[in-house]
Amino acid sequence: MTAPVLDVRDVTKVYGQGETRVRALRGVSLRVERGDYVAIMGQSGSGKSTLMNILGCLDVPTEGRYLLDGNDVRHLDEHQLSILRNRRIGFIFQSFNLIPRMSALANVELPLAYGGIKGAVRRKRALAALDLVGLADRVEHEPNELSGGQQQRVAVARALVTSPALLLADEPTGNLDTRSTRDVLDVLDRLSRAGRTIALITHEDEVAARARRVIRLVDGEIVEDSVR
């Protein structure tokens, strides 16, 4: 039986000590199967950013277990976590995080370069990823020559290029206008239909409406987990 992509088991996260102690997550459990498209929602202070950091292996639970694609992160050191992030997770950030003076193609190649993939293979895979997000005609353009929506689609291609188990998108349309938001969400829809596993962090109902499943957090607890 195939392991779920995400398997979160009774996870808590506590920051601080004594009077400054804050319980950001309170016994959160969830499973995300291969091919799921999940929106994780919550207002500021709900715990959704803390949960995203744990799902992305950028932080570890105080208690509980988290398995990413069958790998129990409790047993990994920082170097192993870094490798897991590079190979298993494709990150998509609100601020794009593109390198300014590098072409779209070079930006998309970066995760493969970090992974030690040779140049010709990197280029072929990066070109395929850019084609997948509809930017085959923009591969030599630098970020400042692209619209916000195009920059975010480059970021999606960069997230895809390692063939990760999970696409983890943190407010991916937060800096975009209405048309660019629609373009980026259309790309995520196509990726979902193609079988990609997507976890989308958002506070916007219209963005979450694109997902097939909505998980809502309040005060560090899941209060809704519904399939659409």
39 DSSP β-pair partners:
200, 214
With a pLDDT cut of 90, the percent of the chain lying above it is 88
Q: In which element (H, E) is residue 32 found? A: strand 22-32
Q: Which residues contact 51 (CB under 8 A, 6 or more apart)?
A: 8, 11, 25, 28, 40, 217
- DSSP conformation class of 3: P
pLDDT in tens, 12-48: 999 998 888 999 999 999 999 999 999 999 998 899 9
Mean of all residue pLDDT scores within the chain? 94
Helix axes 119-132, 104-114, angle to 10 degrees: 130
pTM of the predicted structure, to 2 decimals: 0.93
Region of 221 please: left (phi>0), alpha (psi -120 to 50) or beta. beta
- Tens of pLDDT, residue by residue over 105-135, are 999 999 999 888 999 999 999 999 999 999 9
Indicate the burial class of 178 (C-beta count within 10 angstroms; 0-12, 13-18, 19 or more).
Answer: exposed
Q: Tokens 């590079």, residue?
A: 86
Q: Cα angle at 35 between 33 and 40, to 5 degrees?
A: 70
Give pLDDT tens digits for 140-149.
Answer: 999 999 999 9
